[in-house]
Amino acid sequence: MLSGLLLAVIAGSLVGLQNIFNSKVNERAGTWSTTVLVLGLGFLASLLLGLLFEGSSLLHFQPMQTWYGFSGLIGIGVVTCLVQGMKRLGPTYAVSIILTSQLGFAILWDSLGWLGLAKVPFTFTKLLGATIIVGGIVVFKIGGTKVESRSSSAAQGLK
């Protein structure tokens, strides 16, 4: 379990780092160019590392639902929505909403047993946890608005 927690923390930090890089590329190249760059480089790196570590077995798949193979297409929506969300909301606010959305949909899919997942009962504690996270985002946003107002007023006073 400890290794799973560590890997999840590393994944979260890498996603945060990637979001920053993606938004910086998007400032210079545009959304679709960013998506092509991110997913194209990801494909090449995955292919090369996969061949290095797994060899020819990389492309031998176990039987699965055909539509699972199209998950890469979902990545187009992920990258596009991420860079646009960050552009419009800022990194911290956008990522907090993204994470809350991920949690909410994970709870939904787990509770309903969709997409081949084992059905996990929905409990009050799951609802409470998700509500606390949403409350944190609201507090963050309200607090950020006041700080932005003060810093804008201070900046105008300097002029």
Express each pLDDT in 29-46 by its tens digit.
989 999 999 999 999 999
pLDDT at 51 (0 to 100): 96
Comparing 41-45, 69-73, 127-131, 146-150, which segment has the lowest mean pLDDT?
146-150
Name residues whose C-beta falls within 8 Å of residue 134's C-beta, 6 or more positions apart in sequence.
Answer: 100
Q: Which residue has the higher pLDDT, 59 or 145?
A: 59
Q: What is the mean pLDDT of residues 124-130?
A: 89
CA distances from 143 to 10, 100, 137, 149 (A): 28, 18, 10, 10
Tokens of residue 157, six digits: 């006073």
Tokens of residue 104, six digits: 């909410």
Q: What is the mean pLDDT of residues 88-112?
A: 87
pLDDT at 147 (0 to 100): 47
Q: What percent of the chain has pLDDT above 90?
A: 32
Assessment of whether the complete model's pTM goes beyond 0.95: no
Q: Where residue 148 falls among pLDDT bands split at 50, 70, 90? A: low
CA distance 95 to 82: 8
* Cα torsion angle, 34, 38, 41, 44, sign: negative
State the chain's mean pLDDT as an integer: 85
Taking 60 as the threshold, does the pLDDT of residue 146 lie above it?
no
Taking 90 as the threshold, does the pLDDT of residue 3 lie above it?
yes
CA distance 67 to 113: 17
Q: Nearest to residue 15, comparing CAs of 131, 87, 94?
A: 94
pLDDT at 156 (0 to 100): 54
CA distance 95 to 158: 32
pLDDT tens sequence across 48-68: 999 999 998 998 888 988 888
Q: What is the mean pLDDT of residues 107-130?
A: 89
Tokens of residue 140, six digits: 């963050």
